[in-house]
Structure 1
């Protein structure tokens, strides 16, 4: 942790040097107009990079190797700026604190230095974009733009072709009007940028663009560098219409991301996009394979009840997802413990009544630790209004767990502690 904090502080400490570099480049542009386009582009790219560096301090989930790479890139840029600074002559005008460029020496060398600096800035931008991309699964802490598409759009406007973006990528990302099947069919399908994203990955906020791309033969299950499909993107972004369109056109919800091994509903749940999951379940119910439908409903219910419980009485809660299941009596594994039921994870009296009201009967189901729901509730929260209904539902008070303890032992333990 200390190493990560140190790297972040070191990176942020480079901001004044990079900001001064932007100012210097614009002074060069004003002092000599022999290659204004190159200098303007470099200044804009460097200015945008500064915003990325400043935002990095607020980013959660960034690993030490990624931060180390960012520091290396920015240090290289600072060194490149020093080299450029050594090729210009400064003169003080007005106040002592204000210095402007008087002349440029060694123009060929400066041009080479600017080109090298541009390459360094581009590499750093790509690294920063990867930094935004990799920790996007920081769950509910992730920002409103988890894939940094707004930043990527800015980069595309400033530098067309940046990061291996094709014209079709840019047209989709920038929301170009008139993107129809005629245009998309003339472009190669499934071309990828440096993050492995296809145009379809970037088109999810516009169902018209999505339809044109799919009709033109773009792979609806294409994987990016993290092994994530457009459906997973739509789940993370909370785009209900995009999710439904992808499912209708044949997107496979059973695919798992190769890096994170998560399903699309796992990603959606991590962002509290329960409306997306509920809409997907309703759409999957129309498929002929009912067993698959129950599997999805059960998995979603576990996510809502076990992984991301929320008792703020939001519109879509545990009760809503349980109603989608064929039975409340299914068993599942969790964190290495086998044979648990939903009753093992209740935390409120309402949870208990919801399960009993839906016909829950596995009141004495023991998991691989030997704990039945009553024992686990006693171990977890010890709240009488919650555990008493479980006891009264028919708990076997003589059952012993793997350590030989009975329900009475847990009750006495609770009283003593």
Structure 2
């Protein structure tokens, strides 16, 4: 039980089947052999992860490609509501994310915080991931369980540097509501000012923020 607990809190899946182990090692030949032997492609480990989610955790691009092409479910969630699509977005694993988007990713699916893939991508400064998700059609003004949008998270949890400035620009260009406040009524502009993020403040002001 202790091992299972570690798996859940760390976000790392436990390799409980040969397919999970092959995915973790990026062993495409083993994956193909196992699938030809009719193993269950979306079998779960004790954390609820499929082999594809294990490959996504480790950013094993070749393994993920083999599993996705063979029909693994890109939206299959583990016990903490991570799916290959959501995890790839949150961690900026762009190649895997793009594969999930072309194989049925549910853009409306949400993580354990009630957020879309766009929100943690914005928070963590994954510029190209944010661009990709916006272009895919993820709702830019989705509000998570904390009462935050992608724009608010980019400011509140970001560092105000170049990557987060570019993300704010992308969100503004995508017509994110620059005046959509948090639960306390604090707007993105107010958050930027309180943190001394002058460049982000300029971007927001130019977009009509108040």
Interval of TM-score (by shorter of Structure 1 and Structure 2): 0.7 to 0.9
1:98-125 Cα deviation digits (max 9, x unpaired): xxxxxxxxxxxxxxxxxxxxxxxxx443
Q: Which has the higher contact order (CA 8 A, sep 6+)?
A: 2
Deviates more, 1:317-326 or 1:211-220: 317-326
1:218 aligns with: 72
Shift of 1:341: 4.6
1:125 aligns with: 3
Shift of 1:202: 0.9
Measured in 1, the distance between the counterparts of 2:81 and 2:206 equals: 41
8 A contact 2:134–2:140 mirrored in 1: no
Measured in 2, the distance between the counterparts of 1:343 and 1:187 equals: 53
Query: Does residue 58 of structure 2 align to residue 209 of structure 1?
Result: no
Name the CA shift for 1:217/1:197 in 2 (closer, same or farther; >3 Å).
same
Measured in 1, the distance between the counterparts of 2:162 and 2:70 equals: 44
2:45 aligns with: 193
8 A contact 1:196–1:223 mirrored in 2: yes
Query: Does residue 124 of structure 2 align to residue 246 of structure 1?
Result: no
Give me the TM-score of the superposition, normalised by structure 2. 0.75
Q: Could you say what the CA RMSD is over the residues aligned between the two structures, in angstroms?
A: 3.1
Query: Does residue 180 of structure 2 align to residue 332 of structure 1?
Result: yes
Paired residue secondary structure (2:110): coil
Structure 1: 5+ residue stretches without partners: 1-122, 137-146, 157-164, 286-291, 363-372, 374-417
8 A contact 2:55–2:64 mirrored in 1: yes
Measured in 1, the distance between the counterparts of 2:124 and 2:160 equals: 16
1:237 aligns with: 91
Measured in 2, the distance between the counterparts of 1:345 and 1:277 equals: 21
Name the CA shift for 1:326/1:219 in 2 (closer, same or farther; >3 Å).
same
Shift of 1:223: 1.0
Shift of 1:303: 2.4
Query: Does residue 114 of structure 2 align to residue 261 of structure 1?
Result: yes
Measured in 1, the distance between the counterparts of 2:35 and 2:17 equals: 12
Measured in 2, the distance between the counterparts of 1:126 and 1:294 equals: 35
Larger radius of gyration: 1
Spell out the pairing of 1:85-164 with structure 2 (5 A cutoff): 123-127=1-5, 129-130=6-7, 133-134=8-9, 136=10, 147-148=11-12, 152=14
Paired residue secondary structure (2:131): helix
Measured in 2, the distance between the counterparts of 1:260 and 1:352 equals: 27
Name the CA shift for 1:349/1:220 in 2 (closer, same or farther; >3 Å).
closer
Shift of 1:294: 5.0
Measured in 2, the distance between the counterparts of 1:216 and 1:334 equals: 42
Higher helix content, 1 or 2: 1
Deviates more, 1:220-229 or 1:204-213: 204-213
1:59 aligns with: none
Spell out the pairing of 1:35-54 with structure 2 (5 A cutoff): none
